[in-house]
Copies of this chain bind each other. A is one copy, B any other.
Amino acid sequence: MAVALLGGLAVAPASQAEPKTPAVAYTPDGKLIYPKDYRSWIYLSSGMDMSYSDAPGAADHHMFDNVFVNREAYEAYQKTGTWPDKTIFVLEARMGQGRGSINKKGVYQADAMGREAHVKDTARFKSGWAFFPLNSDAPAPALAQTSQCNVCHEQHGAVDTTFVQFYPTLLPRAQEMRTLSAAYLADEEKDKATSR
């Protein structure tokens, strides 16, 4: 009966409304609260055994990296080609496994070996972004703004310090919206020059 009084407006009971728990949340002392739902966010891509260094790797095993971003940030990116405040990426490392079940070749993903978050929060971090190694599901402190992660992402990230060059479904939008960083464009020019 009450619904009829709304004059035809469709209403959803509160229990069906989307819960609005923010993906980025901190403890009072500034640690990042573990983003436990990240596997239900938007998947961006995976790499295997990637390295940004020419140094020989010690690994006697394969390792995958999966990257996820929170849904609100993904939706904003689709419109603008760049990241809004409170964007959060989670990078998840998983052991690669070869033979197992009926698999005869190649590698599939097994146990998670580590996680790291990359958060945009311009009011909180001088550069706008910070990295949080997530060694457990306990709240995690940020790396210093001068960390290797920060420096490399600032020097080589295709869009706003993020590695959009490795996310095949996102790169075209940055090209369309002309949001590629000067640093990335300079890297690409250098690559072209050396491969001539």
Contact = CB atoms under 8 A, between A and B. Distances in A.
Interface of A: 2-3, 5-7, 9-14, 16-18, 39-40, 42-43, 45-54, 57, 64, 66, 68, 71, 74, 94, 96, 100-112, 152, 156, 158, 163, 165-166, 168-169, 184, 187-188, 191
Nearest to A171: B110
A66 B42 contact: no
Number of copies of this chain that the complex holds: 2
12 contacts: A10-B17, A11-B13, A12-B17, A43-B43, A43-B68, A46-B109, A48-B96, A50-B103, A51-B103, A52-B102, A53-B105, A103-B166
Given A40-B42, A42-B40, A43-B43, A50 B106 contact: yes
Contacts of A18: 18
Contacts of A156: 101-102
A64 B78 CA distance: 24
Given A14-B9, A43-B68, A50 B108 contact: yes
Contact of A10 (B14, B54, B102): B14
Nearest to A51: B105
A101 B106 CA distance: 25
Contacts of A9: 2, 13-14
A196 to B, nearest CB: 15
Contacts of A43: 39, 43, 66, 68
A65 B66 CA distance: 13
A45 B187 contact: no
A74 B40 CA distance: 10
A40 B68 CA distance: 11
Contacts of A54: 104
A104 B53 contact: yes
Contacts of A184: 101
